[in-house]
């Protein structure tokens, strides 16, 4: 804050992100923010209520568009990238989950009684929940689905205030597209209601169609659209995130340029490579498209259905090398 008694500008850190609010015209305050972002991005001195070991980005919300002209000063080494998101709320579950959980699966409450050491966490779920696991167990309204001892769906107890709470979901690879995420989420919402929460929220990016479909299947209804901003601490990841936004805006030339720059610097997360392939396919360039499909395969990409039926890949599906690659995928 610029003043502890009568603040006009503030930058607040929470486990759900940062919040930049008030007057954007206090230049001393803005200079302080610039130094703070330099500390985090350049010097690795993280200021966050979450474990710094798991802090990879600065994501924040603004209360007024008047802050945006100040971004070049405050975030001079990483241009903030806008992320368009949806917020859903659920007041009543419409999916009948009771009795529909397959016999070989078990629903477990994520609370202080959960025996974490007896469970097997796949890498993707472990990475997603590990930094906040103890907090989630204390909140006590999360839920998971196990197959034997393997955790296959995890419902995060993201945050709670009064009678409102938020949940998040992840389903591990090879267990997706089976309806398990929706069943577990429906059970989690009913569990939240039984604990006294009357409004249960769900956030996701507006191009995450899988998450949106699960939310709506459970009974969530979109409450609003909103934008938040991110600055990735790693330059290559920041470029790949920028490229992804170009892709979803159908700016394929810009997307390709930023993907190529990012890939030259280092290997980034697996999901960027299929997007790069789709960007090249949209430009009717099957050779580099195939290159990044193969790279995704090497890195362990499993969700081929969503890629191969994409409109971009449709335009190059008759290329002999593409046909051969798809045939070998089976």
Task: Provide the residue ranges of all domains of the chain, joining segments of one domain with +.
Answer: 9-79, 88-227, 234-329
Provide the pLDDT for residue 212. Answer: 94
Rg (C-alpha) for the chain, rounded Å, is: 22
CA 90 – CA 192 distance, rounded (Å): 11
**H or E stretch including 62?**
strand 57-62
Whole-Å CA distances, 59 to 40, 88, 272, 312, 326 = 12, 20, 19, 30, 38
2 pLDDT tier (thresholds 50, 70, 90): low
Tokens of 230: 């991110």
Nearest to 128 by CA among 138, 142, 117, 141: 142
**What is the pLDDT confidence band of residue 15, given thresholds at 50, 70 and 90?**
low
| Confidence check: pLDDT of 182 > 60 | yes
Residue 51 has pLDDT above 70, yes or no: no
Q: Mean pLDDT in the chain?
A: 90
Q: What mean pLDDT is predicted for residues 85-114?
A: 92
Structure confidence by residue, pLDDT tens digits, 207-245: 888 899 999 999 999 999 999 999 998 999 999 999 999
Alpha-carbon distances of 196 from 54, 99, 183, 222, 303, rounded to whole Å:
31, 23, 21, 22, 37
Per residue in 287-317, pLDDT (tens digit) is 999 999 999 999 988 888 878 888 999 889 8
Whether the model pTM is above 0.75: yes
Share of the chain above pLDDT 90, in %: 64
User: Tens digit of pLDDT for each residue in 118-154?
Assistant: 999 998 888 778 667 888 888 889 999 999 999 999 9
State the CATH architecture for 88-227. 3-Layer(aba) Sandwich (3.40)
């Amino acid at each position: 804050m610029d003043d502890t008694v009568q603040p006009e500008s503030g930058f607040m850190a929470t486990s759900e992100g940062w919040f930049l609010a008030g007057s954007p015209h206090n230049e001393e305050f803005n200079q302080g923010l610039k130094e703070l972002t330099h500390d985090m991005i350049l010097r690795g001195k993280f200021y966050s209520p979450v474990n710094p070991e798991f802090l990879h980005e600065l994501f924040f919300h603004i209360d007024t568009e008047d802050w945006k002209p100040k971004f070049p000063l405050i975030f001079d080494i990483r241009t903030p990238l806008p992320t368009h998101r949806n917020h859903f709320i659920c007041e009543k579950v419409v999916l009948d989950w009771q009795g529909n959980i397959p016999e070989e699966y078990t629903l477990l409450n994520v609370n202080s009684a959960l025996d974490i050491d007896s469970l097997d966490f796949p890498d993707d779920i472990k990475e997603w929940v590990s930094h906040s696991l103890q907090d989630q167990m204390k909140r006590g309204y999360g839920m998971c689905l196990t197959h034997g001892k393997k955790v296959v769906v995890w419902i995060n107890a993201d945050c709670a205030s009064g009678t409102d709470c938020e949940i998040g979901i992840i389903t591990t690879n090879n267990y997706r597209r089976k309806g398990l995420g929706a069943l577990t989420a429906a059970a989690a919402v009913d569990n939240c209601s039984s604990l006294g929460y009357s409004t249960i929220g769900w956030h996701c990016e507006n191009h995450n169609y899988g998450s949106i479909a699960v939310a709506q299947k459970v009974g969530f209804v979109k409450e609003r659209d909103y934008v938040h901003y991110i600055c990735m601490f790693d330059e290559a990841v920041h470029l790949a995130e920028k490229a992804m936004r170009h892709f979803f805006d159908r700016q394929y030339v810009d997307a390709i340029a930023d993907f190529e720059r990012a890939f030259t610097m280092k290997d980034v997360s697996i999901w960027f490579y299929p997007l790069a392939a789709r960007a090249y396919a949209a430009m009717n360039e099957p050779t580099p498209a195939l290159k990044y499909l193969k790279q995704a395969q090497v890195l362990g990409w499993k969700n081929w259905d969503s890629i191969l039926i994409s409109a971009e890949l449709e335009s190059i599906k008759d290329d002999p090398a593409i046909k051969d690659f798809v045939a070998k995928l089976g």
